[in-house]
A and B are shown apart, each in its own frame.
Chain A
Amino acid sequence: MNRHLISAADLSLDDAVAILDTAEEFATLAERPIPKLPTLRGRTVVNLFYEDSTRTRISFEAAAKRLSADVINFSAKGSSVAKGESLKDTALTLQAMGADAVVIRHGSSGAPHRLAGWVRGSVVNAGDGTHEHPTQALLDAFTMRRRLGRLDGLRVTIVGDILHSRVARSNVWLLRTLGAQVTLVAPPTLLPVAVDGWPAAVSYDFSSVLPDSDVVMMLRVQHERMSDAYFPSVREYSRRYGLDGDRMALLPDHAIVMHPGPMNRGVEIAADVADSPRSTIVEQVTNGVSVRMAVLYLLLSGSREPAEPAVATTGGLAPAGERAMSAAAAEAGL
């Protein structure tokens, strides 16, 4: 296993499958009377959150605690960060306190890359700016595989603000690795100009792609996009790119509807869709804990020293800790 999880693009197929398989084992743990393992006892996991994100922070906190790690929550508000301390100085402070892993949520793309250069422990990206949110993509893939039984060849349609979405980026790279076929649907203003180089098809016609979709993933629309003239009005956006009951009826019977949350009901997703049996939205939250347990476990359980990149092996929990997440170092070291 590589030291860090910063980008879903850094995960090999073996890495990704190992995380999903490990998460599957942890998911069964939740059904036990005492859903807790001693695996990371004595290890310290710091949640370093520069953006408000109750959902993701609690998910990581629960994951670390179920593995018996000590958890320190470091919120930018009310800390020395609010007094202007730099990310580097915060990193050095955490380093001095002996953090084994730092889970970082930050409003600037690339902040986890920078952090990884300043701390010796593992860095887990919990969402950086408009770059990536790899554990979200992993829990999405986990949810798809649980519901639909496979990922290879799965047809996944991602709808919304692709340009600014870290969830979309991580999903595009991870689903490519896992063999799914991704279609992006958005107004042209909310797609990167270089999207034609991505391993994904692009459509501006939401309804036309629905009959051929196994999964529809709706992204949150930020209201501030409207003032930047990305689209004329929320109503027009909702009409063209929102998922309502009529559109949902175009889906094949087995298809599922996903949303990373928090939702704007009535904007990108209608209430009856969000609450329908196709919706996996609550399930995604549950699965998030199992997947984050798997990530922390695989990053930290190998040894106290930063793990050397090792030959990837398959199998149960024990050897999984030594798997290498390939390519991350080369990327981050450029």
Chain B
Amino acid sequence: MTAAGGAGTGRPGARRDQGRWLIRGARPLGGRPADIMIDGGRIVAVTESGRDRRDQGPGGRDDGNIRDQDPDGQVTVLEAGHLIALPGLVDLHTHLREPGREDAETVASGTAAAALGGYTAVHAMANTDPVADTAGVVEQVWRLGRQAGHCDVRPVGAVTAGLAGSQLAELGAMADSAARVRVFSDDGRCVSDATLMRRALEYVKAFDGVVAQHAQEPRLTAGAQLNEGVMSARLGLTGWPAVAEEAIIARDCLLAAHVGSAMHICHVSTAGSVEIIRWAKAKGWRVTAEVTPHHLLLTDELAAGYDPVFKVNPPLRTAADVAALRAGLADGTIDCVATDHAPHPAESKETEWAQASFGMTGLETALRVVHEAMVNTGLLDWSGVADRMSVRPAAIGRIGALAGGPDAISHGCPIAPGSPANLVLYDPEPITTVDPAAQASRSHNTPFAGMKLPGQVIATFLRGTPTVLDGRLTG
């Protein structure tokens, strides 16, 4: 891709400039090449390249040549001939670590990583220090996101005060705050008390909220280190049984149905969980689910050398689980891919397995991993990728195309005139080795280090402003 001044004097480095852009020859959702015109933060026209305009903006411009239509000639042209255009990606599950663990990640560094991964919105998990369980903390995180400007930051509010699992946090105050919190989660810990979970599910109905459950029965996973199975038995690591996830998912599907509430399940990791969710959805219950990129590609056999870069919660499972998760994502049982981006400083991973922290980074590799695990296997086309990584997570996060009024931020919108210009341009051709040192995240705990993965994010647009150009941050 080249960013060149076309009819005007484009300024690709001008970060805050919501200028006019012409993305020429990109393939929306991997389809036929089109020219995408961006103006004032919105897509104003999408025309099939080299042909007459196929679509037109609300302004009703009739001429085929977009640049000629520009009255003052300030259009920057991106030659995007071989790139796939997708709606900007939305992550429902990101740990930005700020406030409290700025040595691992900050809102600025984490959202920079997000932009480089093609994301235009991330949901920042609540397990910070202090915990995001008050309007004050969620507003702080939201403001830090706006200041950084790499992507929209949607704070997730804690379900229980201090993540302690005993008393509801002030969910309504967080919902009414400037951060407009709609997703609530104690992620990292399970809301294991059934009554508390029921109350939370009921309570958030008042403001169209959703409770995102980290499904882990605590008594079945005391000291758990690795998927309970062949590998845990051989390695002498305390097992994390699949049933500890599945039992909570089954219970909470029943609870959500009983009270008629929306429930989202974080990082589904087992074949049995996919079956339970498929059953719950068949009943028509309001249950949604996510899967992480690492659970779509990696298995517990990687723990054989005890390198804690492969230690994550829920743990890597077996090849049979990976196959079931891929199938579940393909058929829509699992709604979306969410990274569970969990940065940790080096000393938290350069230890014995049992002493190491759980978690892996993922924002900068997610699209490439999904490309490898889902597209290259024929399980999803690019339209499906857009659905699972943008449209559906935006809807679950209550920032989808139809959510809110005209002032509400919207993601996961069609690449069509009138939509906010949240876009990612992706080159599917290169195959390169993942280098943690080259990533924007402050932490280097990527399990994909040294792996060859396809694809490269070339550009990301947030409401018409490029956050990434030529594969690099613009600011």
Contacts and interface: CB of A to CB of B under 8 A. Distances in A.
Given A109-B237, A129-B236, A334 B305 contact: yes
A13 B239 CA distance: 30
Contact of A110 (B229, B230, B237, B239): B237
A195 B239 CA distance: 13
B305 A332 contact: yes
Contacts of B350: 86, 88
Contacts of B236: 109-110, 128-132, 164, 166, 169
A277 interface: no
A193 B233 contact: yes
A245 B117 CA distance: 68
Interface residues of B, number: 25
Interface string B338-376: 000000000100111111000000000000000000000
B304 A334 contact: yes
Interface string A189-215: 000111101100000000000000000
Contacts of A333: 305
Given A166-B236, A331-B305, A194 B230 contact: yes
A198 B238 CA distance: 17
A110 B233 contact: no
Nearest to B301: A334
A108 B347 CA distance: 17
A194 B233 contact: yes
Interface string A87-131: 110000000000000000010111101100000000000001111
B353 A192 contact: no
Contacts of A109: 235-237, 306, 353-354
A332 B234 CA distance: 14
A94 to B, nearest CB: 16
A334 B354 CA distance: 18
Q: Would you call the interface of chain B mostly helix, strand, loop, or mixed?
A: loop
B354 A193 contact: no
A304 to B, nearest CB: 26
Contacts of B228: 193-194
A2 to B, nearest CB: 15
A177 B305 CA distance: 21
A110 B232 contact: no
B304 A114 contact: no
A331 B303 CA distance: 10
Contact of B352 (A114, A130, A334): A114
B163 to A, nearest CB: 26
B298 interface: no
Nearest to B229: A194
B241 A110 contact: no
Nearest to A115: B352
A333 B350 CA distance: 15
B250 interface: no
A114 B347 contact: no
B3 interface: no
B352 A192 contact: no
A25 B239 CA distance: 42
Interface in B131-158: none
A138 B38 CA distance: 72
Contact of A193 (B239, B347, B355): B239
B351 A110 contact: no
B355 A110 contact: no
A254 B16 CA distance: 86
B302 interface: yes
A246 to B, nearest CB: 32
A272 B249 CA distance: 53
Given A109-B306, A195-B233, A332-B305, A129 B354 contact: yes
B347 A110 contact: no
A129 to B, nearest CB: 6
Interface string A1-30: 000000001000000000000000000000
Contacts of A129: 236-237, 354
Nearest to B353: A110
B302 to A, nearest CB: 7
Contact of B232 (A114, A194, A331): A194
Interface of B: 228-230, 232-239, 241, 301-302, 304-307, 347, 350-355
15 contacts: A86-B351, A87-B351, A108-B352, A108-B353, A110-B306, A114-B351, A114-B352, A130-B237, A131-B237, A194-B229, A194-B233, A198-B233, A331-B304, A333-B305, A334-B307
